Amino acid sequence: MTSTRDHGYARYKLDGCRCYTCGWAVAQYRDAREHAIRRGEWQPYVDAAPVREHLERLRACSLGLRRVAEIVHVDRKRLQVILNGRPERGTELQEQVRPALAAAVLRVEPTLDNLGSATPISSVGTHRRLTALVAAGWPQAHLAKRLGMSDGNFSSLLGRSQVIVRTARLVRSVYDELWLSDPREHGVGTQPFSRARNHGASHQWAPPGAWDEDTIDDPAAFPDWTGRCGTPGGCHIHSRIGVPACQPCRIARQKARAAARDTTA
C-alpha cells in the first residue's frame, strides 16, 4: 500500500512526504493562512476565499464538511454556503465571513484525532511506537493481543508504509498506556522480556525514552538515544552506553572533523 496522493499539502500532512514540493506547499500555505487569521483581528468581516481554500485542502485530506462542522461546532450549512454559495440565489459565492468562523475553520488541521478512521496515512509514528515498545521488552505476541491482532497481522503491519487512522489511534493509545510501565509487572515473563529487548537491540529499534511525544509522528524527527544525538558529543555517549552511533551523530562528527581540518589547514 503506497500513497496515490499528489505532492502538496495532503501528501505532506498524511503521508509524511518531505520532498521539496510538499515542503514548499505547506510553508507557503502556513504563511497565507496565518495572514488570513491575523487580518480578522481588526475587521468585522474577512474574505471568505482563504476559508474556502482551506475547506478544499481539508477535503483533499479526506476531511469532509460534515466532520469540519463538528470540529468547529457550526451548522454544516454555514460551511456549505462558503464552499458552494447559495444555489437558490444563483451560484455566486459568499465573499465575506465573520472572522471568528474564519479563524476556527483555518485552524482545523488533518490530525490523527480529526481525520476519518478509515483514512490511510503514513505508518511512521505507528512503527516507531510498536518497535519502541518491543525494544522496551514488550513481546510482539503480547502487543498483537492487546491490539486484537493475530501475530501474522502484527508482522505485516510492521512491513506496511501506510496504515488507516483507526489502527494508528489504537497503537497510540496502547503506547500511551504501556511506554512507562515495566513489562515484567504486567504479565510478561523474564525470558520473553529479554528476548524482546534483544530483538529490539539487534534491529537498533529506539526505545520510548529516545522519542519525543510531540515529534514521534514527524518523519523528519530522529530518535535521541543519548540526550545529545545530532551534536558532535553524541558519538562519545553512544560508545559509553554501547549503542551504535546513529546517523545524525555520525554526520555531526564528520562535520566537526571537517571543521577542525579547515581551521588547522
Q: Which residues bind Zn ion (CB under 5 A)?
A: 7, 17, 19, 22, 225, 229, 234, 246, 249
Phi, psi of 74 (to 5 degrees): -130, 165
Rounded Cα–Cα distance for residues 40 and 237 (Å): 50
State the nearest-atom distance from the C-beta of 209 to Zn ion, in Å.
13
| Shortest CB 247 distance to Zn ion, Å | 8
Closer by beta carbon to Zn ion, 24 or else 45:
24
Minimal distance in Å, beta carbon 65 to Zn ion?
A: 26
- β-pair type (46-47, 96-97): antiparallel
For Zn ion, the closer CB: 183 or 208: 208
The answer for residues whose C-beta is within 8 angstroms of residue 169's C-beta and 6 or more apart is: 112, 113, 117
Query: Closest CB to Zn ion among 85 and 248?
Result: 248
193-to-117, 167, 183 alpha-carbon distances in Å:
32, 24, 7
Q: Which of 254, 235, 237 is nearest to 245 (CA)?
A: 235
Is 78 or 250 the residue whose CB approaches Zn ion more closely?
250
41 C-beta neighbours (distance < 10 Å), count: 9
Shortest approach of Zn ion to residue 130 CB, angstroms?
21
DSSP state of 92: P
Comparing CB distances to Zn ion, the nearer of 161 and 181 is 161
How far apart CA 238 and CA 42 sit, in angstroms, is 53
Comparison of 93 and 251: residue with beta carbon closer to Zn ion: 251
Q: How far is the CB of 154 from Zn ion (least distance, A)?
A: 28
Minimum CB separation of residue 238 from Zn ion in Å reads: 6
Quote the CA–CA distance of 241 and 233 in Å, as a whole number: 13
Strand boundaries in the chain, DSSP class E? 46-47, 96-97, 120-122, 162-164
